[in-house]
């Protein structure tokens, strides 16, 4: 979830939610926000599927980790609908052995996707229909939904999913009234024998990413892996929903279960929401943010993994003159021509040698439009956005429509897509402007998975 200057009405919903918590017993946290979303008509309105996947860092290929442990849990979960919760424990398995990944050029040319290593039995995430059931975790309680879902490939059969504000209930709880809301949670999603398994994680005292400062929390953006470390830019939130910049988490043991991570926190930028789209290329992490339109920054990863790293001092931004300059000056930054303030995802299309970005188009708010754009390099020029999907939960006449619904955070999960050359597989999250409906409607506030034809495919 996230907020910005022109989104005060969503903050009012959050304040109402805090008041309702006094009755329902939930921990106060904001309903989702975004500065902008588009009102353009979408050219394709498809049905949502219960097949999703994991992955995140686009066609440049995130570096892989060698020799990860097997992560255990209880019995396997069947592929139930993402819009209706199902309880039951799950096993998260799959090895994380793999080779190296070579990022492509951010300024053009081809990008070589990283080889995540061969799966022991030949299964990949794209072989499973993935779902996000409401599920009781024996050590913790019940996961009852989270928003703004990103994913990162750990091995051919194992992916890490991150969620922002998350409902957590007691053991056996199946509805949200009385649940707590924490700032973030994670899941390990695996595919073995064609069967998906999922295990959710959060901390004993709440969120996984938590610096222990009273009245502050983190909304994690796209996690990435590099040489044994996991990095995640995070919007720092104070009080109900006041965004106060971007921090960076560095995890030194990302192949351990998330509740066992060793995490360091760093300041990164005063711009909130930096890293809502992140891609690794040529040993740099490119972090996209929004300043009216999309802007891009980068971090040198070989410097970032050093013990004395200061990420804010390493940050560079792409200026309007096309040069990379220290820090981040949003007024002087190059505007990339598309508006995406609720998350983006990038991948490299090898055939046409182009980058593709998929995003909820935030040129107006609220909007049901999901769009794509392409460019020869991450620096642009980006094409005029093409609208590819109209969210049915916000479209009058559709059975899922409800007037108070608001949907956001369209993120592609390409490594779980068996037809990525011709199709788009992505998730988005729906919420409600009315907090009581957010609690009552168990068909919202978890990833909705969609697979549609890519209009750019031949």
Q: Sorting pLDDT into bands at 50, 70 and 90, what band is 237?
A: very high
Question: What letter would DSSP give residue 405?
Answer: E
Would you list the DSSP string of 102-143?
A: ----TTSS--PPP-----TTS--GGGS------EEETTTEEE
DSSP three-state, residue 57? coil
Q: Sorting pLDDT into bands at 50, 70 and 90, what band is 457?
A: confident
pLDDT at 121: 52
Phi, psi dihedral angles at 289 (to 5 degrees): -140, -170
Mean pLDDT estimate for the chain = 79
Q: Length of the chain, please?
A: 458
DSSP three-state, residue 59? helix
Q: Is residue 1 exposed (0-12), middle (13-18) or buried (19+ Cβ within 10 Å)?
A: buried
Domain ranges for the chain: 8-453
- Give CATH for domain 8-453: 2.115.10
Ranking 82-91, 132-141, 430-439 by mean pLDDT, the lowest is 82-91
pLDDT at 367: 86
Phi, psi dihedral angles at 151 (to 5 degrees): -140, 150
Q: What is the mean pLDDT of residues 231-253?
A: 95
Q: Sorting pLDDT into bands at 50, 70 and 90, what band is 54?
A: very low
Q: Sorting pLDDT into bands at 50, 70 and 90, what band is 122?
A: low
Phi, psi dihedral angles at 304 (to 5 degrees): -70, -25
| Cβ atoms 159, 4 nearer than 8 A | no
Q: Sorting pLDDT into bands at 50, 70 and 90, what band is 264?
A: very high
Per-residue pLDDT for 114 more than 60? no
- Residues 155-167 have pLDDT tens digits of 888 999 999 999 9
Cα 60 from chain centroid (whole Å): 17
pLDDT at 88: 35
Burial readout 214-231 (b: 16 or more C-beta within 10 A, e: otherwise): eebbbbbbbbbbbeebbb
Q: Please enumerate in sequence order all residues whose Cβ is within 8 A of that of 10, keeping only pairs 6 or more positions apart, or say none.
A: 3, 30, 31, 32, 33, 34, 241, 406, 433
- Residues 394-429 have pLDDT tens digits of 999 999 999 999 999 999 999 899 999 999 999 999
Q: Sorting pLDDT into bands at 50, 70 and 90, what band is 42?
A: very low
Q: Sorting pLDDT into bands at 50, 70 and 90, what band is 232?
A: very high
Ranking 86-100, 239-253, 314-328 by mean pLDDT, the lowest is 86-100
DSSP three-state, residue 438? helix
Q: What is the mean pLDDT of residues 358-379?
A: 93
| Cβ atoms 48, 83 nearer than 8 A | yes
- Residues 172-199 have pLDDT tens digits of 999 999 999 999 999 999 998 888 999 9
| CA angle (35, 265, 95) in 5-degree steps | 95
pLDDT at 47: 35
Per-residue pLDDT for 120 more than 50? no
């Amino acid at each position: 979830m996230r907020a910005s200057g022109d989104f005060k009405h969503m903050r009012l919903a959050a304040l109402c939610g805090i008041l309702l918590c006094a009755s329902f017993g939930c921990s106060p946290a904001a309903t989702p926000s975004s500065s902008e979303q588009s009102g353009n008509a979408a050219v394709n309105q498809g049905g949502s599927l219960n097949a999703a996947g994991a992955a995140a860092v686009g066609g440049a290929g995130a570096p892989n980790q060698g020799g990860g442990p097997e992560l255990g849990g209880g019995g396997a979960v069947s592929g139930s609908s993402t819009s209706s919760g199902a309880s039951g424990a799950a096993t998260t398995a799959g090895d994380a052995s793999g080779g190296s990944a070579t990022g492509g050029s951010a300024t053009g040319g081809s990008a070589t996707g990283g080889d995540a290593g061969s799966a022991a039995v030949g299964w990949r995430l794209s072989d499973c229909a993935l779902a996000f059931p409401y599920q009781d975790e024996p050590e913790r309680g019940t996961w009852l939904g989270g928003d703004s879902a990103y994913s990162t490939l750990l091995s051919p059969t194992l992916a890490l999913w991150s969620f922002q504000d998350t409902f957590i209930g007691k053991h056996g709880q199946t509805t949200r009234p009385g649940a707590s809301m924490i700032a973030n949670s994670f899941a390990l999603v695996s595919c073995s024998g064609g069967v998906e398994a999922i295990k959710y994680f959060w901390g004993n005292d709440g969120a996984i990413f938590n610096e222990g400062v009273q009245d502050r929390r983190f909304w994690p953006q796209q996690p990435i892996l590099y040489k044994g470390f996991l990095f995640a830019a995070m919007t720092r939130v104070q009080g109900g929903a006041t965004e106060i910049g971007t921090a960076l988490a560095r995890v030194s043991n990302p192949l351990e279960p998330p509740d066992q991570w060793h995490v360091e926190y760093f300041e990164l930028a005063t711009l909130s929401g930096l890293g809502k789209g992140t891609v690794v290329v040529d040993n740099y992490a490119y972090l996209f943010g929004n300043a009216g339109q999309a802007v891009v920054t980068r971090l040198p990863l070989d410097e970032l993994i050093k013990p004395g790293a200061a990420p804010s001092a390493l940050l560079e931004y792409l200026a309007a003159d096309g040069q990379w300059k220290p820090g981040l000056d949003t007024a002087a930054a190059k505007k990339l021509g598309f508006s995406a303030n609720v998350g983006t995802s990038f991948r490299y299309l090898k055939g046409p040698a182009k980058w593709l970005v998929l995003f909820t188009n935030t040129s107006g708010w609220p909007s049901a439009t999901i769009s794509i754009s392409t460019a020869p390099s991450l620096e642009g020029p980006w094409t005029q956005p093409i609208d590819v999907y109209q969210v049915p939960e916000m479209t009058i006449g559709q059975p899922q429509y409800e007037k108070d619904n608001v949907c956001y955070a369209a993120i592609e999960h390409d490594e779980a897509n068996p037809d990525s050359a011709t199709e788009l597989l992505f998730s988005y999250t729906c919420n409600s402007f009315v907090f009581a409906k957010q609690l009552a409607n168990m068909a919202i506030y978890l990833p909705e998975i969609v697979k549609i034809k890519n209009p750019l495919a031949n």
